[in-house]
């Protein structure tokens, strides 16, 4: 088939969410889609690669993805996609989370109305993919996408139904109806079913004709906006106002914050897929998982002869059917079965595998008591690199800092702390009150309280240094920014 604007596939990657059910590895500041949970790449990277590979599988052109994420994760998303050689068509930054229906509307408006770099195309095919899913069978995925694209081009809003492997109670279900005559392999949707209890789920399995709701979709941009106008005009109105009021900042597109905040928070399932008369489903078995819990990650992970999925420096003896992960030290598990043990530098989780959903009780407790372990890791990523706490006590704190080549921290000042910097490796360009100094390995400098300063890496290798802070208050909010290369607020 000759490539045209209408049959070009436009992946839309939804990269929001916190993935707190995979705590302590997944946290608000570094959620599961940005973690290498199933291989050497992160779930986001695998999603982008999976979408790009469709060109070879289905013979249709595949555009660069439209990415929907947020302010907090924008630099991590950009860095991870750049690391695998992928550049998004655009990246929309949600000012606040409003669920999937408004997020997808931003991408649809982008395609329907066009931009300076994108022609208007209401017939553009949108393949909506959450960034935190795992799919092991690319061929089956591609076949399902090709089928869904045919149904979408004919006016259907298509979801992908996962062939169930058991009576799972953590997923919604879709009952497939009559086959679509013009699209073999696709069916009308008879009904959507909320997450059932176990007996009901088993009944679906016994009856047949039911699929798990994957949360992946394919439709034309114009059709999605038409259905949104019919069933949730309030969402479309707010999303349109936010899109029209957008601003462009380098690689990022920011919808108008006030208009987007006024948008009702609703999923695409409730807003469009359930009320529409044009919903279709493509049933498929493709090794899919939403990686929604430690139990589901155990299911899709390679295992030893005893059913254990072990990662890191782990010793397991007399242990069966367990998931054990060590991030920073030796972990030994002896004489246990069906457990999850996850170690990170600042937290350890131990639980029975069957209680994977109950981790929300711990997350609620941590949030209520404002525990930082719920929000961020010991290593905190920034657009210029990262820092990691080493030690802290009364009136002092010690950190490791890594600055990427060519990167620089903001020009800033602190009201309550002084800082000592010692270069471990690389070259540091230090500016204090307008005076610039180059520091090499084993050299150091002192920044008195209240003095304006900046740290840069002018070299071609990462800069590593040790920072010792001292003062009456050492919180990260004691930063007055005068200038920032990354557009962060002053």
- Is there a contact between 402 and 385 (Cβ–Cβ < 8 Å)? yes
Q: What is the mean pLDDT of residues 26-54?
A: 95
Between 485 and 146, whose confidence is greater?
A: 146
What share of residues in the chain are helix, strand, coil (percent, to 5)?
A: 25, 35, 40
Instruction: Give the DSSP H or E segment for 248.
Output: strand 247-249
pLDDT tier, 490 (very low <50, low <70, confident <90, very high otherwise): low
Cα 342–Cα 43–Cα 290 angle in degrees, nearest 5: 75
Phi, psi of 247, rounded to the nearest 5 degrees: -125, 150
Q: Specify the 3-state DSSP secondary structure of 162.
A: strand
pLDDT tier, 236 (very low <50, low <70, confident <90, very high otherwise): very high
Q: What is the mean pLDDT of residues 302-328?
A: 97
Strands 66-70 and 9-14: parallel
- Is there a contact between 289 and 133 (Cβ–Cβ < 8 Å)? yes
User: What would the pLDDT profile of 67-92 be if each residue is shown by its tens digit?
Assistant: 999 988 999 999 999 999 999 999 99
Cα 96–Cα 84–Cα 152 angle in degrees, nearest 5: 60
Q: What is the mean pLDDT of residues 25-48?
A: 95
d(C-alpha 410, C-alpha 316), whole Å: 46
CA separation (Å) from 46 to 83, 86, 131, 162? Answer: 12, 11, 8, 19
Cis peptide before 24 (omega within 30 of 0): yes
Q: Is residue 269 over pLDDT 70?
A: yes
Which of 222, 239, 209, 201 is closest to 278 using CA atoms?
222
Tell me whether residue 10 is exposed, middle or buried, using C-beta atoms within 10 angstroms of its C-beta: 0 to 12, 13 to 18, 19 or more: buried
Q: Is residue 268 over pLDDT 70?
A: yes
Q: Is residue 391 over pLDDT 70?
A: yes
CA separation (Å) from 158 to 64, 161, 188, 231, 239? Answer: 21, 9, 9, 17, 22
Q: Is residue 373 over pLDDT 60?
A: yes
Which range is most confident: 50-64, 375-389, 417-431? Answer: 417-431
- Is there a contact between 164 and 212 (Cβ–Cβ < 8 Å)? yes
Q: What is the mean pLDDT of residues 93-103?
A: 95
User: What would the pLDDT profile of 321-363 be if each residue is shown by its tens digit?
Assistant: 999 999 999 999 999 999 999 999 999 999 999 998 899 999 9
Q: Is residue 26 over pLDDT 50?
A: yes
- pLDDT for the residue 20: 86
CA separation (Å) from 432 to 399, 435, 444, 446? Answer: 20, 5, 13, 9
d(C-alpha 209, C-alpha 147), whole Å: 18
Q: In CATH, which of 2.60.120.10, 3.40.50.720, 1.10.10.10, 1.10.3720.10 is domain 379-483?
A: 2.60.120.10
Q: Is residue 432 over pLDDT 80?
A: yes
Q: Which residue has the tokens 């436009």?
A: 10
- pLDDT for the residue 44: 98
Superfamily of domain 9-289: Spore Coat Polysaccharide Biosynthesis Protein SpsA; Chain A (3.90.550.10)
- pLDDT for the residue 247: 94
d(C-alpha 36, C-alpha 303), whole Å: 17
Instruction: Report DSSP state, residue 197.
Output: P
- pLDDT for the residue 2: 35
Domain extents in the chain: 9-289, 294-363, 379-483
CA separation (Å) from 265 to 14, 127, 385? Answer: 15, 21, 33
Q: Which residue has the tokens 């990462």?
A: 462
Structure tokens at 23: 């705590």
User: What would the pLDDT profile of 406-416 be if each residue is shown by its tens digit?
Assistant: 999 999 999 99
- Is there a contact between 346 and 372 (Cβ–Cβ < 8 Å)? no
Which of 59, 70, 63 is closest to 115 using CA atoms?
63
Q: Is residue 52 over pLDDT 70?
A: yes
- pLDDT for the residue 1: 34
User: What would the pLDDT profile of 106-162 be if each residue is shown by its tens digit?
Assistant: 999 999 998 877 789 999 999 999 999 999 999 999 999 999 999 999 999 999 999
Structure tokens at 299: 């299911």
User: What would the pLDDT profile of 439-467 be if each residue is shown by its tens digit?
Assistant: 999 999 999 999 999 999 999 999 999 99
Which of 350, 309, 303, 345 is closest to 328 using CA atoms?
345
Q: Is residue 54 over pLDDT 70?
A: yes
- pLDDT for the residue 306: 98
Collect all residues with Cβ–Cβ distance below 8 Å to 384 and sequence separation of at least 6: 403, 404, 407, 408, 409, 485, 486
Instruction: Give the DSSP H or E segment for 125.
Output: strand 125-130
d(C-alpha 11, C-alpha 18), whole Å: 21
pTM value is: 0.91
Write down the mean pLDDT value for the chain: 94
Is residue 395 left, alpha or beta, with left meaning phi > 0 and alpha meaning psi from -120 to 50? left
Provide the H-helix boundaries in 280-374. Answer: 294-300, 359-368
Task: Determine the distance from the C-alpha atom of residue 142 to the mean position of all C-alpha atoms in its chain, rounded to a whole number.
Answer: 22
- pLDDT for the residue 3: 38
């Amino acid at each position: 088939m000759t490539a045209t604007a209408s049959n070009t596939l436009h992946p839309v990657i939804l990269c929001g969410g916190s993935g707190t059910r995979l705590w302590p590895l997944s946290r608000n500041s570094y959620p599961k889609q940005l973690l290498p949970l199933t291989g050497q790449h992160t779930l986001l990277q695998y999603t982008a690669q999976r979408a790009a590979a469709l060109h070879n599988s289905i013979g249709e052109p595949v555009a660069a993805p439209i990415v929907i994420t947020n302010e907090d994760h924008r630099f991590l998303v950009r860095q991870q996609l750049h690391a695998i050689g992928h550049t998004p068509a655009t990246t929309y930054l949600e000012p606040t989370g409003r669920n999937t229906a408004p997020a997808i509307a931003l991408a649809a408006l982008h395609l329907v109305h066009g931009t300076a770099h994108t022609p208007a195309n209401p017939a553009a095919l949108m393949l909506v993919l959450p960034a935190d899913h795992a799919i092991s069978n690319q061929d089956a995925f591609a076949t399902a996408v090709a089928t869904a694209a045919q149904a979408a081009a004919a006016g259907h809003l298509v979801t992908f139904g996962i062939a169930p492997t058991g009576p799972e109670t953590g997923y919604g279900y879709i009952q497939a109806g009559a086959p679509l005559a013009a699209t073999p392999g696709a069916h009308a949707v008879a009904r959507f079913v909320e997450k059932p209890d176990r007996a009901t789920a088993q009944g679906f399995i016994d009856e047949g004709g039911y699929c798990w709701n994957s949360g992946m979709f394919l439709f034309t941009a114009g059709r999605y906006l038409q259905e949104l106008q019919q069933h949730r005009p309030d969402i479309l109105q707010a999303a349109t106002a936010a899109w029209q009021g957008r601003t462009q900042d380098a690689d990022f597109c920011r919808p108008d914050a006030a208009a987007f905040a006024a948008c009702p928070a609703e999923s695409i399932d409730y807003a469009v897929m359930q009320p529409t008369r044009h919903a279709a489903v493509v049933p498929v078995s493709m090794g899919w998982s939403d990686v929604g819990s430690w139990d589901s990650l155990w299911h899709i992970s390679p295992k030893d002869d005893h059913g254990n999925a072990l990662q890191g420096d782990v010793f397991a003896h007399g242990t069966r059917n367990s998931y054990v992960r060590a991030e920073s030290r030796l972990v030994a598990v002896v004489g246990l079965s069906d457990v999850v043990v996850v170690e990170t530098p600042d937290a350890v989780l131990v639980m029975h595998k069957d209680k994977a959903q109950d981790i929300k009780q711990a997350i609620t407790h941590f949030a209520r008591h404002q525990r930082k372990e719920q929000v961020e890791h010991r290593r905190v990523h920034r657009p210029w690199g990262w820092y990691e706490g080493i030690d802290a006590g009364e009136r002092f704190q010690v950190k490791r800092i890594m600055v990427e080549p060519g990167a620089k921290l903001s020009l800033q000042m602190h009201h309550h702390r002084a800082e000592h910097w010692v270069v471990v490796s690389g070259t540091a360009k230090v500016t204090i009150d307008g005076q610039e100094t180059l520091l090499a390995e084993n050299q150091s400098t002192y920044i008195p309280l209240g003095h304006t300063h900046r740290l840069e890496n002018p070299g071609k290798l990462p800069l590593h240094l040790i920072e010792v802070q001292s003062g009456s208050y050492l919180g990260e909010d004691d930063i007055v920014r005068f200038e920032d290369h990354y557009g962060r607020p002053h």
